[in-house]
Amino acid sequence: MMAGKKRTPEEYSIDPASQEMLLRAEELGLKTAFSRADEMKACPIGADNLCCKICSMGPCRIVKEGQTGICGATADTIQARNFIRMVAAGAAAHSDHGRDMAVTLKEVANGETQGYVLRDVAKLRDLASKYDIPIEGRSPSEIANDLADLYIAQFGQQQGVVVSLSRAPKSRQKVWEKLGILPRGVDREIVECLHRTHIGDDQDAEHILDHALRTAIGDGWGGSLIATDVSDILFGSPAPILGEVNLGVLKDDQVNVVVHGHEPTLSNMIVVASQIPEIIDYAKEAGAKGINISGICCTANEVLMRQGIPAAGNFLQQELAIMTGAVEAMIVDVQCIMQALVGIAENFHTEVITTSKKVKIKGATHIEFDEKKALDIAKDILRRAIDNYENRGKIQIPDHRSPVVPGFSHEYINYALGGSYRSSFRPLNDAVMSGRIRGLAGIVGCNNPRGQHDNLHVEIARELLKNDVLLVETGCSSIASAKVGLLVGEAGLDQVGPGLREICEAIGIPPVLHMGSCVDNSRILTVLSQVVEEGGLGEDISEIPVVGLAPEWMSEKAISIATYVVASGVYTIMSGTAPVASNPKVPDSLIVPELLSTGWEKKVGAKLEFINDVDTIVSKTLAHIDKKRAELGLPAYDPEAFGESGDSRMLEIESLSVADRREAIYG
């Protein structure tokens, strides 16, 4: 943690576009999250989560052995309560988003919205049949109505089991059932987190953390999965598409509108409205060449992977986008939106527009979004942005942008590996079994200005790729990797191990598969489910050689994600600040980190660990993958065994003279 020391732009970020804007911030005397992190010394007691402010007898701070809160709460109880409250908030954020999507599906099915259609009817029918909703002879609207009702009911359900858990492997469902942690309803478990952690309730750390698992499962396999399903039905299941990322996607001669936040409902409609001739003409009348939509954060991923709309950046680039002076409007909905945007925007002409019923920011313009008038609202917002074009002052857009091929949904991977008639995960499983692919890893989650922006995401990704680990990424992590060229086939392949390169060349995929936004971590879960179903890599997710990583995490959502990934059986490593840290002066603070690691390994077959050093993260990841390979009886990973695929051999041969070619081919 570097609080107190003023860092240089190069220390702030590895990304040249961000460095350029951070220099500009200094020249203009503007603060950013980076400089505020320098100035803000984190409270050491809060950092270890050894502070309890659940009632007003405190706040109680535990700093030495034997000390308890005024009510008698021990360090481990306090830490477990703080941890589960993070899970509850994170699960609530994802799941409330999922609920809104399900309600929108219902409204679209009933013809009550403006501009939306049921775009992926095949996925709608497929999902409906998974839940025994009749599909034969019924219209898409009738099916969607039933599916929406079923999904909406999962949030407030009081008894039974959240229905979408049926998409986890049977063996995993049994683990949860045995532990008594099958979530009954998504909201119910979140509410119970708050009840249990009220003063005088659950005071057994292990028991509290069992419920954290239950709540998080309701997020990953419930709320988040529902959000992803409905987004695909309404906006189309992603398939690979060419896009671009980084601040250089902003255009100096067009009206720049940045969509930021998480929900695809408004951002997709903004994209639709930006393509209407009347709006384009309006922009031209204002002296611009057109309208350029780009995204920040997970909304960026939603429109990038479906429409190829460029992503201006990840979480820590939101302030920097405004500092280019080229953004006419930044339209935000929910989550990961810094309040500082409004203050930054006051120095430029950018209008920050809040749109969610749930989110207002003092000083921002509020234009409430309503699905029933979606297209009209989107057009109005764009007209406002166009009107603002003439107020532009000096602009400075960093000339950095990278190509990216996002859009690897679970459905697309299935198709890519076997075509329409033989769609299958078999080639993927075979590649892992043969050792061409050593194992799998998911790198996900935020950026955190306490560390160097993008550095851990990229460094870990590069090391794992060299070791033939196939990566799936979402959220801010995928944007970080895209910026350094890891998300396109050609550019990425010279940085990966020989076995993995063969597979990428043969199938035509980048070595890092971009699977979408943060709620789309649910796609990673369903991919793992299918890997189990395909056979050969164990009977349960916990047997697959796979690791989850969130190297630059900062949000409560990331804690919920890590918890459901572990609950699903995947060893997970987070870095940066641990939300519950052991203080050597407080022996009881050893208990919760232990419960999260070896304790959870005994219960659900996977640990949650917090590690900061890159070399240790990489070596532990590879060691875990190799251990799982050995337990499955697979051949030990041998980097020398592969790497002479037809394609790379052809390229070599083509570069030779005619005589040498003959020699190479016939010997």
Cα–Cα distance, 293 to 309 (Å, whole number): 7
Q: Of the two residues 133 and 334, which places its CB atom closer to ligand NFS in the complex?
A: 334
Minimum CB separation of residue 151 from ligand NFS in Å reads 21
222, 248, 445, 449: which one contacts ligand NFS (CB under 6 A)? 445
Nearer to ligand NFS, 317 or 467 (CB): 317
Determine which residue in the list 102, 336, 382, 484 makes contact with ligand NFS, applying CB under 6 A.
336
Smaller CB separation from ligand NFS, 446 or 567: 446
Question: Is the Cβ of residue 297 or residue 320 nearer to ligand NFS in the bound state?
Answer: 297
- Would you say 267 or 582 has its CB closer to ligand NFS? 267
What number of other Cβ atoms are within 10 A of residue 185's Cβ?
21
Q: Which of 618, 446, 581 is nearest to 46 (CA)?
A: 581
Interacting residues of 588 by C-beta distance below 8 A, sequence separation 6+: 62, 74, 75, 76
Tell me the closest approach of the beta carbon of residue 558 to ligand NFS, in angstroms. Answer: 4
Q: For strand 243-245 and strand 402-404, is the pairing parallel, antiparallel, or unpaired? A: antiparallel
- Judged by CB under 6 A, which of 167, 557, 607, 624 binds ligand NFS? 557
CB of 486 to ligand NFS, least distance (A): 17
DSSP per position, 372-398: GGHHHHHHHHHHHHHHHGGG-------
Q: Least distance to ligand NFS from the beta carbon of 127, Å?
A: 24
| Binding of residue 548 to ligand NFS (CB under 6 A) | no
Round to whole Å and give the CA distance between 610 and 209: 16
Q: 298 near 334, Cβ under 8 Å?
A: no
Q: Bridge partners of 235?
A: none
Give 157 or 481: the residue with its C-beta nearer to ligand NFS.
481
Q: Which of 33, 305, 476, 606 forms a contact with ligand NFS (CB under 6 A)? A: 476
Instruction: Using the rule CB under 6 A, give the single segment among 179-187, 411-419, 508-516, 553-561 that binds ligand NFS.
Output: 553-561
The binder of ligand NFS chosen from 52, 382, 524, 558 (CB under 6 A)? 558
Q: Which part of the chain contacts ligand NFS (CB under 6 A), choosing from 229-237, 284-292, 552-560, 606-614?
A: 552-560
Which residues, 599 to 618, sit near ligand NFS by CB under 6 A?
none
Question: What is the pattern of x (binds ligand NFS, CB under 6 A) and - over residues 58-77?
Answer: --------------------
Question: Would you say 168 or 558 has its CB closer to ligand NFS?
Answer: 558
Give min distance, CB of 580 to ligand NFS, in A: 18
Q: Does 446 bind ligand NFS (CB under 6 A)?
A: yes
Residue 396 neighbours by CB distance under 10 Å: 16
Distance in Å, CB of 562 to ligand NFS, minimum = 10
Q: How far is the CB of 516 from ligand NFS (least distance, A)?
A: 10
- How near is the Cβ of 296 to ligand NFS at its closest, in Å? 8
Min dist CB 300 to ligand NFS, Å, is 8
Nearer to ligand NFS among residue 518 and residue 580 (C-beta): 518
Q: How far is the CB of 336 from ligand NFS (least distance, A)?
A: 3
Note whether 98 binds ligand NFS by CB under 6 A: no
Quick check: 297 binds ligand NFS (CB under 6 A)?
yes
Q: Which two tokens stand for residue 67?
A: 């000390």
Instruction: Using the rule CB under 6 A, give the single segment among 39-47, 264-272, 554-562, 619-627 that binds ligand NFS.
Output: 554-562
Nearer to ligand NFS, 325 or 548 (CB): 548
With CB atoms as reference, the residue minimizing the distance to ligand NFS is 475
* Helix, strand, coil tally for the chain in percent (to 5): 55, 10, 35
Tell me which stretch binds ligand NFS (CB under 6 A): 99-107, 373-381, 555-563, 655-663: 555-563
Residue among 454 and 543 whose Cβ is closer to ligand NFS = 454
39: its two tokens: 């100035």
Compute the distance between CA of residue 76 and CA of residue 586 in angstroms, rounded to an integer: 10
User: Is the CB of 236 or the CB of 313 nearer to ligand NFS?
Assistant: 313
| DSSP-assigned letter for residue 132 | T
> Which residue in this structure is represented by tokens 């995204």?
295
Radius of gyration of the chain (CA): 25
Query: Between 173 and 555, whose beta carbon lies closer to ligand NFS?
Result: 555
d(CA 621, CA 627): 10
Q: Decide: 265 and 101 in contact? Cβ < 8 Å.
A: yes
Q: Between 222 and 475, name the residue whose CB sits nearer to ligand NFS.
A: 475
Q: Closest separation between CB of residue 513 and ligand NFS, Å?
A: 16
Please tell me whether residue 555 binds ligand NFS under the rule CB under 6 A: yes
Shortest reach from residue 100's CB to ligand NFS, in Å: 15
316 binds ligand NFS (CB under 6 A): no
Q: Is the peptide bond before 59 cis (omega within 30 degrees of 0)?
A: yes
Return the number of the residue (19 or 555) whose C-beta is nearest ligand NFS: 555
Q: Are 315 and 446 in contact (CB under 8 A)?
A: yes
Residue 223 CB, shortest distance to ligand NFS, in Å, is 14
For 89, counting Cβ atoms within 10 Å of its Cβ (0-12 exposed, 13-18 middle, 19+ buried), the class is middle
Q: How far is the CB of 559 from ligand NFS (least distance, A)?
A: 9
575-592 burial code (b ≥16 CB/10 A, e <16): bbbbbbbbbeebebbebb
How many residues form the binding site for ligand NFS (CB under 6 A)? 14
Q: Are 356 and 334 in contact (CB under 8 A)?
A: yes
User: Can you tell me which of 240, 310, 475, 497 binds ligand NFS, judged by CB under 6 A?
Assistant: 475
Candidates 166-174, 275-283, 550-558, 563-571 — which segment interacts with ligand NFS by CB under 6 A? 550-558
Nearest CA to 319 among 258, 262, 381, 278?
258
Cα separation of 655 and 664, whole Å?
Answer: 11
Work out which of 386, 518, 547, 606 binds ligand NFS, going by CB under 6 A: 518
> Are the C-beta atoms of residues 538 and 431 closer than 8 Å to each other?
no
> Which are the contacts of 309, defined by CB distance < 8 A and separation ≥ 6?
243, 271, 293, 294, 295, 300, 303
Burial class of residue 232 in the structure, from the number of CB atoms within 10 Å of its CB (0-12 exposed, 13-18 middle, 19+ buried): buried
- Cβ proximity to ligand NFS: between 319 and 540 the closer is 319
Q: DSSP letter for 179, please.
A: H
440 or 446: CB nearest ligand NFS: 446
Which tokens in the block code for residue 480? 């970080």
With 0-12 / 13-18 / 19 or more C-beta atoms within 10 angstroms meaning exposed / middle / buried, residue 657 is: exposed
What burial letters (b/e) apply to 349-378, b meaning 16+ CB within 10 Å?
bbbbbbbbeeeebeebeebebebeebbebb
Q: Where are the alpha helices (DSSP H) in 286-359?
A: 297-307, 318-323, 340-345
| Residue 315 contacts ligand NFS per CB under 6 A | yes
Question: Is position 330 an interface residue for ligand NFS (rule: CB under 6 A)?
Answer: no
Q: Which residues bind ligand NFS (CB under 6 A)?
A: 297-298, 314-315, 335-336, 445-446, 475-476, 518, 555, 557-558
